[in-house]
Amino acid sequence: MQYTVYHNNGNSRDYPYLLDIQSDIIEDLKTRLAIPLYPLTGLRSQPPLRLNPLLEINGQPYLLLTHAMASVRKAQLGAEVCSVEQYRDQIKSAIDFLLDGF
């Protein structure tokens, strides 16, 4: 579901969570457009927060790696973790910044 965070059944060591950003209207596809989340504790430098906003997942800060969004098979989405609907504006702003530069 759109704006839902899932456990990553793929490369979960580096990216433990995936954020589904695809519209729920398009459910028939076998893939979903997802953005990986990276734990803030693993960062070595300050990220551009407009492109990579911080989201709180289970009380911990995660960086939204907007520039790394990709289509993933539904099977790669593990158990549902939480909704991040409250970050909708920041997520859409980051995608707009990536695509349009503003």
User: What value does the CA radius of gyration of the chain take, rounded to a whole number of Å?
Assistant: 13
**Cβ 50 vs Cβ 70: under 8 Å:** no
Whether this model's pTM surpasses 0.85: yes
C-alpha to C-alpha distance for 26 and 1, rounded to whole angstroms: 10
Across-strand partners of 19? 5, 35
**pLDDT attached to residue 79:** 97
C-alpha to C-alpha distance for 46 and 26, rounded to whole angstroms: 35
Predicted confidence pLDDT, tens digits, the chain (102 residues): 999 999 999 888 889 999 999 999 988 899 999 999 999 887 788 888 999 999 999 999 999 999 999 999 999 999 999 999 999 999 999 999 999 987
Class of CATH domain 4-100: mainly beta
